[in-house]
Structure 1
């Protein structure tokens, strides 16, 4: 397993670089479905917009789209990661709706039950998994990093950090909305490539701690690692607490 750190000048150049990498990585995958995991947040959505600007370079018929976490709110709520991704990218590209795998909403058929939503998401992941595995072998799994070090919806000292299931309900999150559904560390680390993408000086301390091997219970961004590659995509501000690089 390799770790790489890509430091770009600012958010637009970080997003453009991530789009370059996404296109190259998805295009070199072997025949068959290509499973990718998207993330929200300001950096994640900027990346999706950058991908959308070059959407003609992607074979959307092969892609299956998932999310590392979702805010457990009604389907039309602007806080949902999938709604933001629709607006930034998915509503504008020729992807089959059946290949977009959404977490159940709080007003959906499962009702206001995040545990049921997490279990249903785990079942959906299992349906697309190779034999003997619990989820697809994701080609790319994108994650953001919060100022306190959270990633997906796993916050510091959260029970989600030690949950052994494929996906779990997360309650009492310190940032609104308080109830969410998240993939767990074992599932987040099932990807061939994990990309941790973030920008801004407020993220610098958490980024440095995560890269330097912090306890994932304290800094959850230290937890997910790709089977082949863990890639950090940072602007100069987010990388400012790292040692100087030649």
Structure 2
């Protein structure tokens, strides 16, 4: 039996709400794909699923055609959303590192939610939305803890020639040395002959400060560099009473 217009509207409204829940979180994090993008993906995939089911049922009821496959359009939706996900990643290519993977995965998951909603499995769609929202909000804290636990951070103060391509050469050097640029701040004027920078770098394994300095000073145009490891402060659990020995 085909999906009625009333049922279709109900499913589309639910898809809008579920897509908005995920999109709101991405918008709050200032991501490339925000509220409207996630809503459109969820509603569009829901429409495709409803259309696919109705076409298959209509062909069966009118013509007795049993080979209509409602999964074909759904499969193309999953493939098509991959282009949107790639766009959120490529939009950050100037940063010279991979960003946007979580948003791309979120778009793909939201498309799946739309398909499930369109197919009529509303309970499953709601449960999937809740789990995705938990992953994006709660698990980010665990992600940050794992990042801080397994990476060592270094504060770098450096001066280098302010010329075209110098930043690109610096980023290429950091990539070769397996150092990740966490943040940077420019202290000098834009048209100054020398660029003064404050960087925060991180590495998977602890490196000697001299190793990092030697790598930075080997770069053409670097005039001065200072490096120190950032010590993470662990919370103290001691009380006013002396510990028992």
- With normalisation by structure 1, the TM-score equals 0.22
Q: Which of the two has higher C-alpha Rg? A: 2
Higher strand share: 1
Higher helix share: 2
- With normalisation by structure 2, the TM-score equals 0.22
